Each structure stands twice: as C-alpha cells, then as structure tokens.
Amino acid sequence: MEFTEEQRAVREVVREFAVEEIQPIAQEADEQEAFPEDVWDGLAELDLTGLTTPVEYGGYDADRVTYALVNEEVAYGALAVATALSVHCLATSCIAQFGSESQKKRWLPEMVDGRPVGAFALSEPGAGSNPAQMTTEARPVGGDDEPTEYVIDGEKQWITNGERAGVYILFAKTDRDDPASITQFVVPGDVDGLSIGDPEEKLGLRASDTTSLTFDGVRIPAENRLTPDGKGLSAALSILTGGRIGIAAQSVGLAQSAFDRAREYATEREQFDGPIADIQTIRHKIADMYAGIQGARALTLDAARADDRNDDSALRASVAKYVASETAMDVTNEAVQIHGGYGYVSEFDVERLYRDARVTTIYEGTSEIQKTIIARHLLGET
C-alpha cells in the first residue's frame, strides 16, 4: 500500500515508541489497572495528543490515513493506551469541528499538550446502541431570547478517560422528552455537582479507566454549548465515523501484535522433534491469521482514504470496524491456541491481547450495530 513520505515517517516513529515505551510496561499497567501517565506524556511530546487538532491551535492536523496509522501502531503497543488517545482525539475533534473560534482558543491549545485529557460522554445506562433514548437533560435557564446557562442532570456510563479527564464532551437533551433536542456541550472536569464513579473492573483494557459520570445540578455557561439545540446527535454520528476508522485501525494493530508473538512462538516452541511451526495445522493457522489482518488493514485504509477524499465514508467505516474487530478476536484466539497452555497464563502477552480484543466488537458500535448500518446503506434506507 502506498503512503506519502510523511505518513511512512510518522508510522515508523510511532511504531518505535510503541515497541520501546509502551510494550514493556503494558503488562504491568494491566495488572495494576493503572494508566501509564509517563507514556501519555510521551505521546504528547510526539504531538499525538493534538493529532486531529488544526495547526492554528497547536495541533498536528493529521489526515485520516495518518490517524489510522497512528492508531494501529499505538495499539500494537497496548490497546488501552490507543483507546485513551483515540477518545481524547474524539473530544478535540468535536471542539475543532463544531466549536466557535472562542471555544477553540479556550480549550484546544491545552488539550493539544495532553492536559487536560478529553473524554466523550454519550452512552448512558439505558442508552448505549440507541443514544436517542438518553435521559440526561441540560435545561436552559435565564435570558429572554437565549439562555445564559444550562443546568445538567443525568448519568453517563462507559466513559473512557472518565477518571483522568479534565474536559468532557457531553451529549444531553435540552428537553428531556424530545429526542430531537440532543445538544453537545463542553463540561470542565472541576464543575460542582459532577461525580465520577469508581473505575469499572473489566475483562480487558484494564489500564484504561472506564467510569460512570453523575450530573446533579451541574451549571455551565451557555457559551459552553458546542452545537445549536437539536444538532448534537448528528454531530456525534459524524464524529463517530472517524472514530470507527480509528477502532478498526486499533483492531488491526492488536491483531498484528498477537500474530507476531504467535509466529515467533511457533518457530521456537519444539514438540515432536521440531518446532511446532513445522506442523501443518499450525502453518494453516498462521496463514489464516495473516490473510485476515491484511484484509482488515486494507478495508481500514480504504475507509480512511475515502474520508480524506470527503466521500461518504460511513459505510466503509462500518465495514472496516466490523471486519477488523472480528479479525482481532479471531487472531488473538488463534494466538492463544498456538501457545497452548502458555497462552492461558499471564506470563505470555497473548492472554492480555485476547482479553483486550473482546471490547473492539462492542465499543463505538457493536458488531451487530455495524451490520445494521451496513444493511441500511446497501438497501437504500439511510
């Protein structure tokens, strides 16, 4: 696949950082369920925390292909780190795409430097795959024609960077009973009335903090509204197209990491008077894993290039996310199988990679939701 010289250079730098700085601490971070803040600072030094932010606000302003390459390589080091970075970039993208000039100047320069960390607060306990069912309300108050502030009540769930974040991109209804009133807001992490739940104890991504958020009479100024009333859901869906390309790329990076470990193990592990790589069954597994990764990577980059061309990339993004996440599950499963009993213990990284892979088929739209989106496009129902 052809890349520009700059894209190749970025990929090489990020792969080196992933191998030298992220991989060595990934297992310990998983065991301690603690995000590696030194790694985050390293990402900031590489300008990756400003990856999707325009240059005029200090960002890198990466094209979508570069964004995909960065996500793949960071996930090659650890999916938990890649997930935290991609959610931070979702937050900065919301401000960059929908914010006013004053909002961009207020928030983006600091977020580009990595602090405050950004979070994306869309899902709720009763509204995951269908965000129109959200119940969080941002009630407008004051002013005759325009509100002077909003009072927020409600709960959000599954918030990546929930504990670490200093800025939340919040989606809420300005009329609790009207799904068409969903609007987008910037909420600072230090506002009164915001409570952050304990980190969830998860199967995988254990180094990435995932929390609930409770808003109890939180007051924010009207200037913190990012979109006009009722335009928040369409904004979220447009941002998530790019997000799904990022998750597809992360799935590819995770699968590649598992594949590389399995291939190396197969050449070193000896049974029946030779390496298990000589066994036909193992050779077929390796071939299938490689083919799956190559296909998923091609679909991901195709979606990224379509997005860069301003084509309608929603269908491509859903196809890539669906195929790549399912591939990550298949490849990590086979990597564990190739390792045999050793694949089932934490001494070998494939155990963690297998656990981490499971979430790729769930977050930013489950595999079932992706298939629904794909079918709607194919049947002309979008």
Helix axes 79-98, 101-112, angle to 10 degrees: 160
Question: How many Cα atoms occupy the beta-carbon half-sphere of 188 within 13 Å?
Answer: 12
Question: Is the Cβ–Cβ distance between 172 and 185 less than 8 Å?
Answer: yes
Residue 186 CA: distances (Å) to CA of 94, 150, 222, 249, 253: 9, 11, 10, 27, 31
Instruction: Report the 10 Å Cβ neighbour count for 378.
Output: 10
Show the 3-state SS of 108-134. HHHHHCCCCEEEEECCECCECCCHHHC
Residues 6+ apart with CB under 8 A from 247: 71, 86, 321, 324, 325, 360, 363, 364
* 3-state SS class at 266: helix
Is 364 tagged catalytic? yes
Note the Cα 357 to chain centre separation in Å: 13
How far apart are alpha carbons 172 and 216 in whole angstroms? 13
Is the CB of residue 136 less than 8 Å from the CB of residue 152?
Answer: yes
**In the structure encoding, which two tokens stand for residue 368, read together?**
């079932």
Which is catalytic among the residues 31, 364, 368, 381?
A: 364
State the Cα–Cα distance between residues 332 and 357, nearest whole angstrom: 7
Residue 46 has which token pair? 């590489």
Catalytic residues: 364
